[in-house]
Structure 1
Amino acid sequence: MSELKENYTFLAALYDVLMEDVDYESWADFIDEIIQTHHPEAVDLLEMACGTGSLSLSLGELECYNILASDKSVKMIEIARKKPKDFNSTVDFITLDFLDIDVDQSFDCIFTVFDSVNYLMNAEQIKKFLIGASKKLNGNGLLIFDFSTPKNSLESVDYLNENEGDNGRFRFFRKSAYDPKQKIHRNEFEIEEIDIKTGNILQTVQEIHEQRAYSLDQMLSIVEQTPYHLVAKYDGFDLIDANENSARVTMVLQC
């Protein structure tokens, strides 16, 4: 049986393969559009749960923001720090847990995307994140985050199940399942480390990633228990008002 590892210990090396279909430039343009619509004076940005940094690096190419990008995973940040040389970017990277935003700086905008908030498994954890972020925002600062709804899990689970990928050194196999009663989306990754010269498998490990899907009403109820007021709730990647049929919702909050 393969050894169970902490999330993104090994999968970090495969993260860019896992996310190869994501259009980071369009996503960066969407975040920029939100900022320019609701807080055009914003300059200092913090990204939480940045992964290997591709979104912040794409946003940095707009050359109008000072960006600090962070992730809890040391491995993710190690990979991210190697990228600015390719992107000719000045984005800074740090290791940071978004439930403990221990950084001696405040920001005009804090953002986290691609279901990061869904890793928070209950309302209390989400409130802790929201309140912690509020303490690091400058006056009129924005908090932008997206979340996946049950509809998104129901629509994507078959596509995600039994898929695989590799980067030559590592290979992953994913099993994906969604429990509509508990609203838990579970992804099990079996990851093989490959000897590049011989092709032999050096080791096999497992990572289990669980996320909770939230309805729009649930998230709005949680936000009401925090210092924020709702600026906007967007459907997918358009500045269109989200509703209960939205698969992905982007929230824009302000204290």
Structure 2
Amino acid sequence: MIYQGFAGVYDHLMEDVPYREWADLIDTLLKQHGEGVHQVLDLACGTGEITVLLQEKGYQMSGADLSGEMLSLAIQKSGERKMEIPFFQQDMRELEGHEESFDAVLINCDSLNYLLEEKDVKKTFTSVHQVLRSGGLLLFDVHSVYKMEHVLAGSTFADAGEDVSLIWQCFNGERPLSVEHELTFFVKKEDGSYSRMDEFHQQRTYPPEELLLWAEEAGFERLEYFTDFKPGLLLDEAERLFFAFRKK
């Protein structure tokens, strides 16, 4: 997914996302399932919020994203914190130049849901497998089937901020378990007027049993599968699914 004007207001609109909770959970999983985890790749890292939080925890982070605009903000953010984090503009389906160089790979914040075809999810798992060392970890999360069908599809969300206002409409997509997001932003300018930006995003999720199977077919061993930031918990009406795998 390539964000355009959205990159400039992304962090402002994501202020309520529990990034620190996310980073704490990842840290726990890496320590629980990994041994000597140091080199970590944050795929679809966006503006690098989780990337820098994990760097603060002592991991040597790298970040990759398809969007150059997002990466520019991630580089700026890490620089302000005096961090040396390499960032790469790459497609998660076709990672290059990192053969077996990482102890763990992360795909956070439902980024995998931007892959709209089954074959692209499978290609991503294979791509990640190739850049992990033997025994390396893959951690990712996705929207649940329940969230796609009962929370997002057919809903409208709005937020009127002082500097940025948002109208977000969700519709059923053409593919199974998919939604289309139509977002309209009104961003306040220096002269007090507002500029309008429109974004169109598509996301698709997959039943957990399919994700588990595809990861295993790509050469991964299942470690954990749980819901809503709570290891060991599986809820039918959970909104987010978390997975942890080890490269065989």
TM-score w.r.t. structure 2 length?
Answer: 0.88
Quote the residue 2:93 is aligned against: 99
Quote the residue 1:59 is aligned against: 54
Amino acid at match of 2:73: I
The structure showing larger relative contact order (alpha-carbon pairs under 8 Å, at least 6 residues apart) is 1
Residues in 2 aligned to 1:165 and 1:254: alpha-carbon distance in whole angstroms: 43
Question: For 1:216, which of 204, 208, 213 is the aligned residue?
Answer: 208
Cα displacement (A) at 1:165: 5.3
Question: For 1:225, which of 217, 220, 238 is the aligned residue?
Answer: 217
Structure 2 segments unaligned to the other structure (5+ residues): none
Moved over 4 A (4+): none
Cα displacement (A) at 1:166: 5.6
Q: Is the 8 A contact 2:156 2:167 kept in 1?
A: no
The change in CA–CA distance for 1:226 and 1:188 in structure 2 (over 3 A counts) is: same
3-state SS, counterpart of residue 47 of structure 1: strand
* CA RMSD between the two structures: 2.5
TM-score w.r.t. structure 1 length?
Answer: 0.86
The change in CA–CA distance for 1:18 and 1:137 in structure 2 (over 3 A counts) is: same
Cα displacement (A) at 1:192: 4.4
Question: For 1:141, which of 136, 140, 147 is the aligned residue?
Answer: 136
Cα displacement (A) at 1:228: 1.3
3-state SS, counterpart of residue 162 of structure 1: strand
Question: For 1:199, which of 193, 196, 203 is the aligned residue?
Answer: 193
- Whether 1:250 aligns to 2:234 is no
The change in CA–CA distance for 1:122 and 1:180 in structure 2 (over 3 A counts) is: closer
90-99 vs 72-81, which moves further: 90-99
Residues in 2 aligned to 1:113 and 1:16: alpha-carbon distance in whole angstroms: 15
82-91 vs 159-168, which moves further: 159-168
Question: How many positions carry a matched residue from both structures?
Answer: 246
Residues in 2 aligned to 1:171 and 1:134: alpha-carbon distance in whole angstroms: 40
Cα displacement (A) at 1:19: 1.2
Structure 1 segments unaligned to the other structure (5+ residues): 1-5
- What's the CA shift string for 1:60-87, capped at 9, x where partnerless? 1112x11001111000011111112443
3-state SS, counterpart of residue 230 of structure 2: coil
Cα displacement (A) at 1:153: 2.5
The change in CA–CA distance for 1:200 and 1:14 in structure 2 (over 3 A counts) is: closer
Q: Is the 8 A contact 1:10 1:191 kept in 2?
A: no
3-state SS, counterpart of residue 135 of structure 1: helix
Residues in 2 aligned to 1:161 and 1:34: alpha-carbon distance in whole angstroms: 34
- What's the CA shift string for 1:90-147, capped at 9, x where partnerless? 3332222111112345100001111111111122111100001100001110111111
72-81 vs 186-195, which moves further: 186-195
- What's the CA shift string for 1:149-174, capped at 9, x where partnerless? 12122453289623235674x65432
